[in-house]
Amino acid sequence: MLATAAGCDVTAHHVDHGLRPGSTEEALVVAAAADRFGARFEAHRVTVAAGPNLEARARAARLAALPSGAATGHTADDQAETILLNLLRGAGLDGLAGMRPGPAKPILALRRAETQGLCRGLGLEPVRDPSNEDPAHRRNRIRHEVLPLLDDVAQRDVVAVLVRQAALLRDEADLLDELAAGADRSDSRALAALAPAVARRVVRRLLAGDHPPGAAAVERVLAVARHEAAACEVEGGRTVRRSAGRLSVDDTPPGDGPASRDRAWRAVEGHSPPTV
């Protein structure tokens, strides 16, 4: 409704994960709301892959079904929950900075109570997902147990505090990224001389892949840069080596022979492969 009221060209998407009885009928509710407010409607049914962490697998299936840049309904309360979850996972600065606001998350500054109030005012009855009450999911315990307890202990609205802190941390993360972007990530001596916070960002860029590197891997690479080790292993079967003061990453999968390793060797920032 907010998007159509703002004059946007809107298509409402409903993704049925097929994880509970009656989920197919929920698409009808979304379709009726879309028709009422003048939006197009598309329904998607996905298969959630088997494995651990049901929430993560369902999210991956949902994102794969949605078009690029689709806007989600995450609110400030979702932001606070995400920050606490990331804290429990041991996330660094980027995790504690939470979700970044932007076109894909247009109502991130609104509270969940505000969206519920809007629905009541329009006579809309939200569909209640029973899985959002299941304490087996860590986010639900954060939502129903941890945040209310923190509010009571702090005697204030902790969601507002967490959202404000995340905004400050995003600014600091952006600054560190700017400083790291100007560093030569292959120069071991220059890397070792950087402030630790910047050096860690440089190494994270060096090891960038499908998933961010762990803190232990980053510290191992910094030990190589500081000449405390000649090489180290990191995620994905890769090896970071130092030769003639330059760092380089061997991307060869474990088990490949020397010839394949020579072909796969890439020096960071386009420098020539070292002689091993």
DSSP readout, 47-60?
-PPSSS-HHHHHHH
Q: How confident is the model at residue 268 (pLDDT cuts 50, 70, 90)?
A: very low
Tally of structural domains, the chain: 3
| pLDDT at residue 252, rounded to an integer | 61
Q: How confident is the model at residue 165 (pLDDT cuts 50, 70, 90)?
A: very high
141/210 same-domain check: no
Instruction: Tell me: pLDDT of 273 over 70.
Output: no
Instruction: List the Cα angle 42/45/49 in 5-degree steps.
Output: 145
Whichever domain contains 81, its CATH number is 1.10.10.1360
The amino acid present at 208, given as its one-letter code, is: A
| Average pLDDT over all residues of the chain | 89
**Residue of 202, 275, 204 whose CA lies nearest to 241:** 275
29/55 same-domain check: yes
Q: Which of 127, 149, 172 is the last residue of a domain?
A: 172
Residue 193 lies in a domain: yes
Higher pLDDT, 254 or 153: 153
138/118 same-domain check: yes
38/92 same-domain check: no
| pLDDT at residue 12, rounded to an integer | 96
4/88 same-domain check: no
Residue 55 lies in a domain: yes
Domain containing 197 equals 182-270
56/105 same-domain check: no
Instruction: Tell me: pLDDT of 218 over 60.
Output: yes
Q: Which of 70, 94, 115 is the last residue of a domain?
A: 70
Instruction: Please measure the distance between the N-terminal and C-terminal CA atoms of the chain and give it in whole angstroms.
Output: 62
88/44 same-domain check: no
| pLDDT at residue 119, rounded to an integer | 93
**Residue of 95, 70, 93 whose CA lies nearest to 15:** 70
159/89 same-domain check: yes
Residue 37 lies in a domain: yes
49/110 same-domain check: no
CB 268 within 8 A of CB 185: yes
How many other β-carbons are positioned within 10 Å of the β-carbon of residue 274? 14
| pLDDT at residue 236, rounded to an integer | 85
Look up tokens 């299941």; give the residue.
134
Q: Which of 70, 87, 121 is the last residue of a domain?
A: 70
Residue 125 lies in a domain: yes
Over residues 171-180, mean pLDDT: 96
Residue 225 lies in a domain: yes
Instruction: Tell me: pLDDT of 258 over 50.
Output: no
90/151 same-domain check: yes
Alpha helical stretches, state H, the chain: 2-5, 23-36, 54-65, 76-88, 93-96, 112-122, 138-141, 147-154, 158-181, 188-193, 196-206, 215-225, 258-264
Q: List the single range of 120-134, 168-182, 196-210, 241-255 with lowest mean pLDDT.
A: 241-255
77/166 same-domain check: yes
Half-sphere exposure of 178 (CA within 13 A, CB side): 6
| pLDDT at residue 267, rounded to an integer | 40
CB 234 within 8 A of CB 204: no
Residue 276 lies in a domain: no
Residue 95 lies in a domain: yes
Residue 260 lies in a domain: yes
Q: How confident is the model at residue 264 (pLDDT cuts 50, 70, 90)?
A: very low
Give every CB contact of residue 141 below 8 A, 6+ residues apart in sequence.
135
**Residue of 44, 52, 53, 51 whose CA lies nearest to 18:** 44
Half-sphere exposure of 240 (CA within 13 A, CB side): 31
